[in-house]
């Protein structure tokens, strides 16, 4: 047999398996449902939206005063903001670590997210499932209390959240988030309304896409083991220039997960607060998810 035909035959033999593996890989990648939410955060709550390996998510979150001040206080904007900065870095496609600081009580928080399940397009896996665990410390100055100032351990708190979400179609996504927060010492000098150690809640997050780059959003966090008022929020997400801007009205001034459950909420209407988040993902050589 001519050597030229031998080379051609060998090329076909080795090329077909490569193309077959590539096609199977692409088919597998297409099975995952992507962009269930616009960003890893949705109003106040973390979501099932993962980060690609080595990607960094940076978020600036703000809430202002209540609306009942009217135009005299520019509907709460004159009353100062509670601000939280957060960074989250993906060590793999499934696991990421984050750090955040909330202005009220000067709370530093570290947390991790692990993505157990991913919704698939063929509905063999009908939802995505992620876990979050975090620990925080209140670093406010309580020297004016002299001997009664809380020590380091008494300033700590912990949070755990399960996130189960489904993208029903190109417009509607819903997430259910059983949550708990634990304060070692729910000291009344902290900016919280609750006086118990353990707080249980069930968070609901919803997104309804109205255009290719914008969605209406909803958040509801009913308490399960206390009489504190429930958290309610609604707003809009906008994608622009690689950022996701989230503008909303919410009943809580808090941004840290533990304080979100223990901090109390205003009533609907005049005690809503204006809030907004700025989200940005910095990717290293991989496709950004917020596009």
- The model's pLDDT over 19-52, given as tens digits with 9 standing for 90+, comes to 344 344 444 455 899 899 999 999 999 999 999 9
pLDDT at 29: 52
Which two three-digit tokens encode residue 144? 């004016």
pLDDT at 26: 47
Average pLDDT over residues 197-222: 96
Helix or strand or coil: residue 37? coil
Q: Taking a C-beta distance cutoff of 8 angstroms, is the pair 159, 262 a contact? A: no
d(CA 160, CA 177): 10
- The model's pLDDT over 232-254, given as tens digits with 9 standing for 90+, comes to 999 999 999 889 999 999 999 99
Residue 125: C-alpha distances to residues 65, 164, 255 (Å):
42, 12, 32
- Cβ atoms within 10 Å of 263's Cβ, excluding its own: 24
Average pLDDT over residues 167-175: 97
Contacts of 176 (CB under 8 A, 6+ apart): 163, 164, 165, 202, 203, 204
- Cβ atoms within 10 Å of 91's Cβ, excluding its own: 12
φ, ψ dihedrals at 30, nearest 5°: -75, -15
Residue 115 backbone zone (phi > 0: left; psi -120 to 50: alpha; other: beta): beta
φ, ψ dihedrals at 6, nearest 5°: -60, -45
Q: Return the closest-CA partner of residue 32 out of 43, 21, 48.
A: 48
pLDDT at 9: 40
d(CA 198, CA 44): 20
- The model's pLDDT over 180-191, given as tens digits with 9 standing for 90+, comes to 999 999 999 999
The pTM of this model reads: 0.84
Q: How many CA atoms lie within 13 A of 151 on its CB side?
A: 2
Contacts of 289 (CB under 8 A, 6+ apart): 34, 35, 49, 50, 51, 52, 55, 281
Helix or strand or coil: residue 32? strand
Residue corresponding to tokens 């996701």: 244
Average pLDDT over residues 120-144: 95
Percent of the chain surpassing pLDDT 70: 86
In order of start, what are the domains of the chain with their CATH numbers? Answer: 32-282 (2.40.160.40)
């Amino acid at each position: 047999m001519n050597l030229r035909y031998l080379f051609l035959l060998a090329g076909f033999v080795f090329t077909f398996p490569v193309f077959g593996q590539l096609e199977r890989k692409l088919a597998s990648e297409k099975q995952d449902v992507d962009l269930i939410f616009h960003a890893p955060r949705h109003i106040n709550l973390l979501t099932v939206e993962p980060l690609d390996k080595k990607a960094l998510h940076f978020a600036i979150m703000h809430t202002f005063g209540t609306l009942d001040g009217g135009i005299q206080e520019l509907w709460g904007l004159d009353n100062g903001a509670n601000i939280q900065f957060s960074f989250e870095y993906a060590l793999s496609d499934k696991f990421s670590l984050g750090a955040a600081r909330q202005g009220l009580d000067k709370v530093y928080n570290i947390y991790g997210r692990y993505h157990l399940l991913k919704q698939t397009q063929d509905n063999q896996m009908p939802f995505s499932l992620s876990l979050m665990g975090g620990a925080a410390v209140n670093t406010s100055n309580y020297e004016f209390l002299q001997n009664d100032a809380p020590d380091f351990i008494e300033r700590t708190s912990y949070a755990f959240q399960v996130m189960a979400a489904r993208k029903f179609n190109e417009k509607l996504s819903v997430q259910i988030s059983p949550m708990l927060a634990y304060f070692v010492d729910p000291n009344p000098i902290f900016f919280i309304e609750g006086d118990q150690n353990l707080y249980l809640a069930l968070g609901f997050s919803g997104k309804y896409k109205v255009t290719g780059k914008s969605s209406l959003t909803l958040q509801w966090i009913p308490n399960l083991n206390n009489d504190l008022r429930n958290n309610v929020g609604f707003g809009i997400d906008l994608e622009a220039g690689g950022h996701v801007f989230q503008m909303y009205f919410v009943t809580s001034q808090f941004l840290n997960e533990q304080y979100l459950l223990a901090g109390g909420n205003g009533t609907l209407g005049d005690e809503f607060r204006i809030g907004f988040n700025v989200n940005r993902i910095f990717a290293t050589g991989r496709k950004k998810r917020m596009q």
